[in-house]
Amino acid sequence: MTFEAITNADKTFVQIRSDIIAGRIESGAKLSEPELSTKYGVSRAVIREAINRLAACHIVERKANVGARVVALSPEGLIQLYQVREALEGMAARLAAENMSADEVAQLQDLLVSHKSSIAGSESYYQEAGDVDFHYRIIMGSKNEQLINVLFNGLYHLVRMYRVQLGMAGPRVTKAFDEHLHIATAIANRDGELAEILMRRHIHYSKNTIESLLNNELKG
């Protein structure tokens, strides 16, 4: 998920991306190259390369001779992201049931055991890192390079950005944990069909939760 940032352009890319996802650079803002150049203390060429990568992840949009803007965040956009996730991660769960090694399956279950105890204590940890960890392992377990690329180099950072900026620090912790448990069991039983169904429902529920949150926000 996280990759080794070697060059300055790498580090600047990670930095700016983090600033955008966390909302320190707000949605719709223009990314002026000279401005960012002084702000991050690197040359314009470095900023330019960083912006190019952000555009590749669809975090910003570029227009020729005009510049780059952070993507506009609509509630519909977040819903669309979850639709794609549902299709892709459902498939990932099926493939994981077929292709994960016994070791990887065991590690997946160990992960859930440690999550169970962390839920008893402070739940807040689980929501972010734990959820990502679980999904990460399943996606990697699919052993499908294309799938891994699409999800990690594109969709996941977008999801985080939308969630942060639309204020979805959602609950759904304990219910999600149970769903994770069922998915892991299906994978351990090598039941790809069930694993896919459960994963799709898991993400579908998240989507529904978010939709109702958005609706409440519009009404309130």
Partner DNA sequence: TAACTATATATTGTCGACAATCACGCAAAG
Partner DNA sequence: CTTTGCGTGATTGTCGACAATATATAGTTA
Q: Which chain residues interact with DNA by CB under 7 A?
A: 7-9, 30-35, 42-46, 48-49, 62, 64-68
Q: Which of 31, 131, 144, 183 binds a second copy (CB under 8 A)?
A: 144
Which CB atom, from 99 or from 174, has the smaller least distance to a second copy?
99
Q: Which does 173 bind (CB under 5 to 8 A by kind): DNA, a second copy, none?
A: none
Distance of alpha carbon 61 from the chain centroid:
19
Q: Which residues of 108-147 are buried (b: 16+ CB within 10 A; e: fewer)?
A: beebbeebeebbeeeeeebbeebbebbbbbbbbbbbbeeb
Which CB atom, from 33 or from 104, has the smaller least distance to DNA?
33
Which CB atom, from 27 or from 127, has the smaller least distance to DNA?
27
Which CB atom, from 71 or from 195, has the smaller least distance to DNA?
71
Is residue 169 within 8 A of residue 124, CB to CB? The reply is no
Chain residues 73-132 in contact with a second copy, contact rule CB under 8 A: 77, 80-81, 83-84, 87-88, 90-91, 95
Under the binding rule (CB under 8 A), the answer on residue 215 touching a second copy is: no
Which residues, 6 or more positions from 169, have their beta carbon under 8 angstroms from its beta carbon?
A: 127, 163
Instruction: Tell me the C-alpha distance between 95 and 97, whole Å.
Output: 5
User: 65, exposed or middle or buried, with CB in 10 Å at 0-12, 13-18, 19+?
Assistant: exposed
Instruction: Tell me the C-alpha distance between 187 and 112, whole Å.
Output: 13
Chain residues 163-202 in contact with a second copy, contact rule CB under 8 A: none
Under the binding rule (CB under 8 A), the answer on residue 18 touching a second copy is: no
CB of 67 to a second copy, least distance (A): 13
Is residue 143 within 8 A of residue 93, CB to CB? The reply is no
Dihedrals phi, psi of 68, to nearest 5 degrees:
-115, 140
If you ran DSSP here, which 8-state letter would residue 87 be given? H
Which CB atom, from 86 or from 131, has the smaller least distance to a second copy?
86
Q: Which of 25, 155, 184, 199 binds a second copy (CB under 8 A)?
A: 155
Which CB atom, from 51 or from 186, has the smaller least distance to a second copy?
51
If you ran DSSP here, which 8-state letter would residue 12 be given? H
Distance of alpha carbon 133 from the chain centroid:
10
CB of 118 to DNA, least distance (A): 38
Q: Where does this chain bind a second copy (CB under 8 A)?
A: 6-7, 10, 45, 48-49, 52-53, 55-56, 58, 64-65, 77, 80-81, 83-84, 87-88, 90-91, 95, 144-147, 149-150, 154-155, 158
